Structure 1
Amino acid sequence: MLCLIVDDDADDQELFSAAMEKTMLDNYTCIFAGDGAEAIALLNTAPVPDYIFLDLNMPRLNGLQCLSEIRKQERLQEVPVAIYSTSSDELSKNKALGLGATAFISKPTRFHELISKLNDFFSAHAPAKKH
C-alpha cells in the first residue's frame, strides 16, 4: 500500500504519518510532497499510489489545482484522492468533489479523531486495482 501525503506543513506531515501508524492499514508506505507542484513531479516518476491525500492550502500549486492535474492523468483516474484541510466550508468541499476528489476531510483538532476519519476513509474507499 502506497500513500502520497501532500502538505506544506512539516508538522502536519508528521502528525498524519503518526496517525497512519494507528489506522487499520497494514503494510503501507507513506511518501511526502511539500506542495502540489512537487506532488505532480513525484507522480510522474513514482509508482501509482493506492491513496493520495492533498492539503487544500499550499503554495505554488494548491490542493484543488493539484487535484485537477491528477485527474487529467489516465493512470491516476481510479486512485482515491482525499482533500484535507482546516477549512470546512461547503464551497471548498463542493469544488473539491466537483473536481474529482473522493472525499473531503476536515483536519480535526484531536489526534484520535484523525485516526477515526482515516479509518472511515479507508473503509469506504478500497484502493484502485493496479494493472
Structure 2
Amino acid sequence: MKQKLSCLLIDDDRDDQEIFKLALHDVNEDVFCQTADDGIKGLHMLQTDASFTPSYIFLDLNMPRMTGKDCLSAIKSNPLLASIPVVIYSTSSDPKDIQDTKDLGAADYVVKQYSIASLKEILRRYFN
C-alpha cells in the first residue's frame, strides 16, 4: 500500500497558509497538510508527534521568533528529521537566500506565487 502523502507548512502568514492549502487541495485532495505559525511551533510538532512525519516540509524564511534558516538548520541537524525534504517557500528571490538555504540542506526553493494557478503548477511537482 502506498504511504499517504503529507506536508507541514511553516509560515507565519495565515493568508499564505490558506492559499497554500486551497491550491494543494485542488492538486491532490488526499494530501494531509498541517500548518505551524513559526519555526519554534513547527519544530515542536515535528519533535513531539511521532505519528506525523511529513513527506515534505515547506518553510518560509522571514518569520518572528525563529527565522526559516535557523529552523532549517535545526531540522537538518536532527537525525530523526534530517531526511525529510525541506522546500523553502518565501517571497525572497535573493540569490544569496537561495544559495544559503541550499548550503543548509534545502531540497528546493520556491518563490511564493501571486496566482493560485502558478502555485498549483509548482505543487504538482511534489504531490501529483
Could you say whether these structures have the same fold, taking a TM-score greater than 0.5 normalized by the shorter chain as the test? yes
- Consecutive aligned runs of 4 or more in structure 1 exceeding 2 Å deviation: 120-123
Amino acid at match of 1:45: T
1:5 counterpart (6, 9, 17): 9
* Residues 53-100 of structure 1: per-residue CA shift (max 9 Å, x gap): 001100011111100000011121221110011110100000011000
| Structure 1 segment 42-53 matched on structure 2, within 5 A | 42-46=45-49, 47-53=52-58
* Residues 9-54 of structure 1: per-residue CA shift (max 9 Å, x gap): 110000000010122x452211110000111111111221111000
Amino acid at match of 1:40: L
CA contact (8 A) 2:8 2:36 kept: yes
CA RMSD of the aligned region, Å?
1.3
Amino acid at match of 2:16: D
Amino acid at match of 1:37: I
2:90 is the counterpart of 1:81 = no
Q: CA deviation at 1:120?
A: 2.4
Structure 2 residue ranges without an equivalent (≥5): none
Between the aligned partners of 1:110 and 1:62, the Cα distance in structure 2 is 25
Between the aligned partners of 2:72 and 2:88, the Cα distance in structure 1 is 8
1:32 counterpart (28, 32, 35): 35
> Percent identity of the aligned residues?
41
CA contact (8 A) 1:48 1:75 kept: no
Between the aligned partners of 1:60 and 1:21, the Cα distance in structure 2 is 29
Output the TM-score relative to the length of structure 1: 0.88
Query: What residue in structure 2 maps to residue 128 of structure 1?
Result: none
How many pairs does the alignment contain? 122
1:93 counterpart (94, 98, 106): 98
Query: Which region of structure 1 is more displaced relative to structure 2, 72-81 or 100-109?
Result: 72-81
Structure 1 residue ranges without an equivalent (≥5): 124-131
Query: What residue in structure 2 maps to residue 71 of structure 1?
Result: 76
Question: 1:21 is paired with a residue of what secondary structure?
Answer: helix
Query: What residue in structure 1 maps to residue 122 of structure 2?
Result: 117
